[in-house]
A and B are shown apart, each in its own frame.
Chain A
Amino acid sequence: MHMADALISPAVGGTMWVAAAGLTVYSARKLKEEMDDRKTPLMGVLGALVFAAQMINFTIPGTGSSGHLGGAMLLAVLLGPYAAFITMASILTIQSLFFADGGLLALGCNMINMGFFPCFIAFPLIYKRVAGRGPDRKRILAASMAASVMGLLLGAVGVVTETFFSGISELSFKTFILLMLPIHLVIGVVEGFVTASVVGFVCRSHPEVLQMADESSKGNSISLKPVIITLAVIAALTGGFLSWFASTSPDGLEWSVARSSGNKELPAPAGKLHAFFSGLQEKTAFLPDYSFRKEKPEAPAANEAKKGNDEPWPGVSAGTSVSGLLGGVMSLVLVGLIGIGIRTFQKRKSK
């Protein structure tokens, strides 16, 4: 569920970056307060373990497919939420840089989806409550199962929400979420089993490891609420600012360019959110109509609405569109020529 840059808008990416950066700074400060520098190498090595563990698969009975460890919940159980978030953030950064798994602008989204939800929501609210204090194996198993599933589902909802607000994909919120949730429920159950079996093994052979993590996360688990509220407010403000900026200035620029060059630009579509609300409005507006006049008049009205929707996209005259495409291809060729030019220049120089 790594999100790519191509699927998000700058406003959404920027907002999530701000939120993720805030969480990282906050977690780093909390870690400094703990002053346990044994944790530094432990975090790093456990982060590498999450990578390494992906090399070991297990077969899922009956399906022929295989599963492996997801990581965030295991990290949270072993390290506590703050250290786990930072480790998860570094894992995601390395994945995006070296494996192209998730983009750089989408890094904020990914940190929130795959770091924040498991470490700061699922871990304290589900795992801790269910697992309790004592080293009771069954409860720990149930807790890691429930928390893994919940963390993944929340992450999937995050992916869908971010994609929806970006308005790049045509998938509607409902369809996308209906596609994502079942898949991630299955993945979550598998990950839950893995986390549970590893935590179970640790609990059987070295229970003191779990206690150490428990103590380190005990002192400061209460103070999270104000932080989340502040972050949400900051993120909402930046998001509002960025989307205002995105909706006014570049479009304004395009508009003026279009006017000055006489080129008929495609009109900017109303944002997804706007479409959603106007759809809602239409529905609520139709209902009273519907109850007054029962059948026929609605059909033409709907047709008209459809026509109205079509109209913002007039068939652009073939001339301009062909020249646009031609220009695109030509500029690709041009760029390619520049590349070849530089390379031959280099070769000549090295001779």
Chain B
Amino acid sequence: MGSIGSSFFDIGHLDALSSKQTPVHRVDSRVKVLTTLCFIVVVVSFHKYDPARLAPLVIYPMAIMVIGRIPFSYILKKVLIASPFVLFVALFNPILDRNPVMELGSFVISGGFLSFTSILVKYVLTVSAGLALIACTGFDAICSALSGMGVPTAFTIQLLFVYRYIFVLGEEAARMARARALRSFGDRGMGIGVYGSMLGQLLFRTMDRAQRIHLAMMCRGFDGKIRYNSPKGICWSDWIFLGGWCGLFVLLRSYDFPAWLGRELGRLI
């Protein structure tokens, strides 16, 4: 119970990071969303037997985190927490695919092991890029970016609403769960009977709240739209950000930089 409770405040912390003032934070939110999507597509498009070629791409999430002053340990913790399903699926690769693909002296590396590694690397890269995006942009800015990019307003309004009320209802639910835990001994009262009516109670309270919110919104002239701070135009530094990163991704996608580096080093040695 405590752990989930703290995870709710945790997402608040992620959003709080976005209020810093760094060069990355100042980049237009639309540009950051586009760049991150481009990064993810490039990462995912690499061949499954090519984990080494993914290595230079670490530079994007790392640069964002370093320049945006986002603590590494915090992002790493979140990446590790969310991994069970990926691990579960990826673990089958070394077991099922035993084709020898590579030799390192007397070691033979199977294709399954390579694809397992590349799934994990891709996972870490994509997830950390997404978390870095939210940590250096903030959720409101992302929603306004989405609506600026033509996403239906009904959807962006829902994003804002759900996010805003997660905290309110989360606290309410945590309070209810604590109260139930205090009144029940062992497993008595923790079953589905009580649970169903408890959730129902929460549901009704929520619906009443929705009605009050609606009235309050009507009082303030809500007409089905939420008005964002109109974003500043995309200036030249934003174009450089977008073009620079996307150019780098395409370059790393089309040239095998690690192999070149390895060959040159081998020649030196």
Q: What is the interface of chain A, defined by CB distance below 8 A to chain B?
A: 1-10, 13-14, 24-25, 27-29, 31-32, 37-38, 40-49, 51-61, 69, 78, 86-87, 89-91, 93-94, 96-101, 103-105, 163, 167-172, 193-194, 197-198, 200-202, 205-206, 209, 246, 250, 253-254, 257, 261, 263, 265-266, 268, 310, 313, 315-332, 334-336, 338-339, 342-343, 346
Contacts and interface: CB of A to CB of B under 8 A. Distances in A.
A44 B155 contact: no
B126 A58 contact: no
Contacts of A96: 130
A94 B256 contact: no
B196 A24 contact: no
Nearest to A312: B99
A328 B134 contact: no
Contacts of B102: 315-316, 321
- Across the A-B interface, the 10 shortest Cβ-Cβ residue pairs: A44-B161, A197-B196, A327-B262, A328-B52, A327-B258, A201-B200, A323-B262, A48-B165, A28-B152, A58-B195
B96 interface: yes
B154 A246 contact: no
B168 to A, nearest CB: 7
Interface residues of B, number: 129
B255 to A, nearest CB: 6
B103 A318 contact: yes
Contacts of A89: 155, 158
Contacts of A42: 207, 210, 214
B101 to A, nearest CB: 5
B228 interface: no
Interface of B: 1, 4-5, 7-8, 11, 14, 36-37, 40-41, 43-45, 47-56, 58-59, 62-63, 66-67, 69, 78-79, 81-82, 85-86, 89-90, 92-93, 96-97, 99-105, 109, 111-112, 115, 119-120, 122-123, 126-127, 130-131, 133-134, 139, 142, 151-155, 157-166, 168-170, 172-174, 176-177, 180, 187, 190-200, 202-204, 206-207, 209-211, 213-214, 217, 222-224, 253-263, 265-266
Contacts of B7: 99
A12 B213 CA distance: 40
Contacts of A41: 161, 210-211, 213-214, 217
A325 B177 contact: no
Given A56-B202, A328-B52, 18 more contacts: A5-B43, A9-B45, A28-B152, A38-B214, A40-B158, A41-B210, A57-B177, A87-B162, A90-B159, A104-B130, A168-B119, A197-B192, A324-B262, A326-B266, A327-B265, A331-B257, A334-B261, A339-B63
A55 B123 contact: no
Contact of A40 (B5, B109, B157): B157
Given A7-B119, A53-B199, A246-B45, A342 B67 contact: yes
